Amino acid sequence: MISVDKELTLSQFYEIIFEGEPLDIEQEVLDLVKESHTFLKEFAANRVIYGVNTGFGPMAQYRIQDEDTNQLQYNLIRSHAAGTGDLLPPLHVKATMLTRLANLSKGKSGVHVSVVELLKELINRNIIPVIFAHGGVGASGDLVQLAHLALVLIGEGEVISRNERRPTAIVFEEEKLKPIEVIVREGLSLINGTSVMTGIGIVNYFYASKLLDWSIWLSCAMNEIVKAHDDHYSASLNAVKLHAGQSQVAARMREHLFDSALIKKREQDLYSGNNQEDVFKDKVQEYYSLRCVPQILGPILETIQQVGKVLEHELNSVSDNPIISVEDQNVYHGGNFHGDYISLEMDKLKLAITRLTMLSERQLNYLMNTKINGLLPPFVNMGKLGFNFGMQGAQFTATSTTAENQTLSTSMYIHSIPNNNDNQDIVSMGTNAAVIANRVIVNAFEVLAVQIISVRQAIDILNYQNFVSSKTKAVYNEISEIVPAFSDDKPLYPAIQQVKEYLMN
């Protein structure tokens, strides 16, 4: 059981979302939310407060009469539940709910305590609101997507429950759940915020971290296959480049390869004075995709780390408007719902992951092209050349998917389009940025799946099973369980999908 207190760490977030750890809310947090709600009700009695007794956006100039303020919140939720496109995956929606819960638990939004209590129940019972991918421009937060979440919280809309898409009202009746109490500004507080882009962003962060781990593994295995020299990932070489990420990647490569019987030591191979050839049979230096791994993956590692920091800050921030301050006995109007921080980080993340994908594609091409590697049959084909095709077809998939990632990496952060009667005259597009970054990440897993199957084939062809490092051997064994060595042609798409799921999970 994990309790929501003052701060929620990314590791706690992972346990709740990915591992299904139950969630609880500290009584201190509930008291804080109640205090904020009570203060706002009293404070709003004789004052003009946006979204409480005014219209919304460019219609904020219109006063709402006391008898209509409650209905106003329902009107906002229903009118903005206008999303289209594919459904967000359950993992993304659950991450969104947890992020919104963390934000509202700060006691700065004035919501009724039933909001955080119902969010907790939905998360714990794995009841997933139907939320669409298209709709948010990322300023005033994720208005459209969060409206679909709010629609469920008022007992309307649809949810995914027990793997079925069903009306919320029916599921609530079965689960004995009650809709939230809408009293002051529950509608506005629920849809004003960056919780969708942040929730998806955190999922992206965890998957990006896994991709980096696999890219380092693959790069190490590639170096073993070609019997590379060890100095390009040495501490001494990488220490003279003053970037922490580069040194961290090099250190991880040294840890991976320390017990490999295939990696050559330059001192013994080329510095011993015994090599008198005029034309060297073996390469003095490897191709960049093998030799420059610390320099390529180093900035990707640092980018992922920075993304994690920004996401954890946003997770524990208040992205609402206006902000209720019991301490100051005041209500502040501003723009904390603006998603620039997340939008920029998602653009940076997808650039980094596209670069990682490109590295994988180039390493794969090295394995496929016998004229380059000089070791392996074309397309790591274990059958009859000309009659069988090995991984030839799968390489097309990896290449085209890499090309798609390159196109998807165009920035969303700089694509602001004014809307909302120009009230929202500059927007972040953070929701789109997070969704597209996720697509780039999923694509990357597909490319790496093709590469890791090819690496396994190469190890079998060269009979290196007992010479690779222990870390390479452990994964080689698991991949071989999914995709045994093959020489006869067969459809590869089931194997690629299975390996992709293995890499992701």
Distance between CA atoms of residues 192 and 144, nearest Å: 10
Kindly tell me if the per-residue pLDDT of 32 is higher than 60: yes
Question: With contact defined as beta carbons under 8 Å apart, do 503 and 451 qualify?
Answer: no
**pLDDT, tens only, 186-218:** 998 999 999 999 999 999 999 999 999 999 999
Q: What is the pLDDT of residue 423?
A: 59
Half-sphere exposure of 233 (CA within 13 A, CB side): 32
User: Edge-to-edge strand order for the sheet containing 158-161?
Assistant: 128-129, 158-161, 164-167
CA 144 from centroid of its chain's CA atoms: 21
Kindly tell me if the per-residue pLDDT of 38 is higher than 60: yes
Task: pLDDT band for 63, please (50, 70, 90 cuts).
Answer: confident
What 3-state class would DSSP assign to 129? strand
Residue range 364-374: mean pLDDT, rounded: 95
Kindly tell me if the per-residue pLDDT of 80 is higher than 80: yes
Facing residues of 87 across strands? 132
Residue range 35-61: mean pLDDT, rounded: 84
Please tell me which residue, 141 or 437, carries the higher pLDDT value: 437
Strands 2-4 and 23-25: parallel
The two three-digit tokens of residue 396, written as one number? 């097309």
Q: DSSP character for 419?
A: B
Question: With contact defined as beta carbons under 8 Å apart, do 262 and 227 qualify?
Answer: yes
Distance between CA atoms of residues 446 and 453, nearest Å: 11
**pLDDT, tens only, 423-439:** 566 787 899 999 999 99
User: Residue 52, Cβ neighbours under 10 Å: how many?
Assistant: 21
**pLDDT, tens only, 249-281:** 999 999 999 999 999 987 666 666 666 666 666
Q: What is the pLDDT of residue 276?
A: 62
Catalytic (active site) residue 287: no
Q: What is the pLDDT of residue 141?
A: 80
The 3-state secondary structure of 70-120, one letter per residue: HHHHHHHHHHHCCCEEEECCHHHHHHHHHHHHHHHCCCCCCCCHHHHHHHH
User: Residue 34, Cβ neighbours under 10 Å: how many?
Assistant: 14
At 10, which amino acid appears?
A: L
The per-residue pLDDT of the chain, averaged, comes to: 93
Residue range 8-32: mean pLDDT, rounded: 95
> What's the count of helices (H) and strands (E) in the chain, helices before strands?
20, 9
Q: What is the pLDDT of residue 194?
A: 95
Q: What is the dihedral of CA 412, 417, 418, 421, to 10 degrees?
A: -120
H-assigned helices in 369-429: 370-373, 392-408
Question: With contact defined as beta carbons under 8 Å apart, do 449 and 500 qualify?
Answer: yes
**Reported pTM:** 0.95
Residue percentage of the chain with pLDDT more than 90: 80
**pLDDT, tens only, 89-135:** 999 999 999 999 999 999 999 999 999 999 999 999 999 999 999 98
The two three-digit tokens of residue 312, written as one number? 């954890």
Which among 50, 74, 287, 502 is annotated as catalytic? 50
Closest Cα to residue 505, out of 1, 12, 19?
Answer: 19
